[in-house]
Amino acid sequence: MIIDCHAHLGWWFFPIRQENAADLIPIMDKWKIDKAIFSSVRAIMEDCRDANKQIAAWISQYPDRMYGYITLNPHYPEIWKRDLETYTENPQFVGVKLHAAWHSCPINSKPYASIFKWCEEMKLPILAHSYDPTPDNMSPSAPERLARVAQERDVQIVMGHMGGNPIRGIKACASSGPNLSLEISAGRENAGQHYAWDLLRVRRAIDALGPERVLFGSDMPLVDPAICFGAIKDSELTPEEHDLVMWKNAARIFGVCSHV
């Protein structure tokens, strides 16, 4: 079993051909990804007004393989409240996606505090984009900011991309409690840096946090899953670690497999 907890549906301005649900199934089949959780590219980058509705239509075509995140923009509370109320009624939506960098709003700021409060009350897990190219930890999606939020909230949060810098992401996650986990699609953002393309980042995360706090995610189709499968292979996981990282943790946090 493989569950990819970080995937996207929608049109990219990059030269990427895959856009809708039918386009992603061949990639999932190629890599034997049984289930994946998708967020809306349009809700992140352009227009949040009906983007989650589009995701609902796409994932409904593959109810046993595709699940969705309710992607929320903190600048439009009337829309994100509506979407939370609407799509939490749909069992194929299993969590919330936040992208503080693209929405230019610090993840530990007041607009996001309202979203975290709602998610806490509704027991909705969150995948939060996390990446900081700055030397002063001031990016809106810096891993240190997300760790501070996790310390204050009783809700499951998954740090996307291991914070963009595996060293900082692991350290930030370790400073928080067990409600903050890491998703492994990291490394490509900082080519040229000493920590870029860290093929042992999964092993480092497991050794620091335990295998229960590390989740497989590919960022497909923006990134080919081959990168993350390579990181898994090079980290030489035990069978127990492999099952936890590749599917059991996602199944537990997002509830996509009822038998776990």
Q: Cα(36)–Cα(17) distance, rounded to whole angstroms? A: 18
DSSP character string of the chain: --EEEEEEES--SSS----SHHHHHHHHHHTT--EEEEEEHHHHHT--SSHHHHHHHHHTTSTTTEEEEEE--TT-HHHHHHHHHHHTTSTTEEEEEE-TTTTT--TTSHHHHHHHHHHHHHT--EEE-----STTS-STT-HHHHHHHHHH--S-EEEGGGGSSHHHHHHHHHTS-TTEEEE---SGGGTTSTTTT-TTHHHHHHHHH-GGGEE----BTTS-THHHHHHHHHTT--HHHHHIIIIIHHHHHH---TT-
- Res 113: pLDDT: 96
Q: What local confidence, expressed as pLDDT, does residue 197 receive?
A: 59
Cβ atoms within 10 Å of 180's Cβ, excluding its own: 26
pLDDT tens for the chain, residues 1 to 260 = 999 999 999 887 777 777 889 999 999 999 999 999 999 998 888 888 889 999 999 999 999 999 999 999 999 999 999 999 999 999 999 999 999 988 999 999 999 999 999 999 999 999 999 988 776 667 899 999 999 999 999 999 999 999 988 888 999 999 999 999 999 997 554 544 555 557 788 999 999 999 999 999 999 998 899 989 999 999 999 999 999 999 999 999 999 975 44
Rounded Cα–Cα distance for residues 240 and 204 (Å): 16
Listed residue (66, 132, 121, 75) closest to 98, CA to CA = 75
pLDDT at 78: 94
Report pLDDT for 157. Answer: 98
Q: What is the pLDDT of residues 28-37, one digit of tens each?
A: 999 999 999 9
pTM score, two decimals?
A: 0.94
Q: Which CATH architecture has domain 3-254?
A: Alpha-Beta Barrel (3.20)
Q: What pLDDT sits at residue 47? A: 81
Backbone dihedral region of 110: left (phi > 0), alpha (psi from -120 to 50 degrees) or beta? alpha
What pLDDT, on a 0 to 100 scale, did the predictor assign at position 137?
A: 67
- Provide the pLDDT for residue 188: 52
- The string of pLDDT tens digits covering residues 185-222 is 975 545 445 555 577 889 999 999 999 999 999 999 98
